Amino acid sequence: MLFWQILIDGFAISALYALGATGFTLIFGVSGVLNLSHGALMVTAVVAAWVAGGDFGLNTYLGATFGVFVGFVMSLLTYFVVVRPLQQSNKIREEEKEIFILTATLLWGIMISELIAYLYTNNAKTVLPIVEGVVMLVGVRTPANEIFTAIVCWLVIGVLWLLVNRTRAGKAVLAASMNPRGVTLLGIELSWIYIAVWAVYGVLVGIAGVLLGMFLGVSSYSVGPLTASAFSIVVLGGLGSVSGSLIAAYVVGYLETMTAYLVSPAFRTIPALLLLVAVMYVRPRGLLGRR
Partner 1 sequence: MNPTTSLASRIISSRTVWICLLVVVVASTLPLYVSGYILGLLTIAYYFAVFAMSWDLLFGFAGEVNFGPTFLIGLGAYTAGILDNLYQPPIWLCLVAGALAAVAGGVVLALPALRVRGPYFGLTTLVAVLILQNFVVVAASFTGGEIGLTVPDVISIDDGVNYWIALGFMAVSGAILYALSRSPVGLILQASGQDAIQAGALGFNVTKHKLTAFIISAFFSGLAGALLVFYLGAASVGTFVDVTVGVQVIIAAVLGGRRTILGGVLGAVFLIGAGEALRPLGDLSTFIVSAMALAVVLLFPSGLLGLLTRTRDAR
Q: Interface residues with partner 1 (CB under 8 A)?
A: 28, 34, 82, 85-86, 89-93, 95-96, 98-100, 102-104, 106-108, 110-111, 114-115, 117-118, 224, 228, 231-232, 235, 239, 267, 269-270, 273-274, 276-277, 280-281, 284, 291
Measure Cα distances from 46 to 63, 128, 130, 148, 255 in Å.
Answer: 9, 11, 14, 17, 26
Rounded to a whole number of angstroms, the minimum distance from the CB of residue 51 to partner 1 is 18
CB closer to partner 1, 186 vs 277: 277
CB closer to partner 1, 118 vs 192: 118
CA distance 22 to 24: 5
CB closer to partner 1, 62 vs 270: 270
CA distance 233 to 257: 15
CB closer to partner 1, 156 vs 239: 239
Rounded to a whole number of angstroms, the minimum distance from the CB of residue 209 to partner 1 is 20
Rounded to a whole number of angstroms, the minimum distance from the CB of residue 234 to partner 1 is 9
Rounded to a whole number of angstroms, the minimum distance from the CB of residue 267 to partner 1 is 7
Rounded to a whole number of angstroms, the minimum distance from the CB of residue 284 to partner 1 is 4
CB closer to partner 1, 158 vs 225: 225
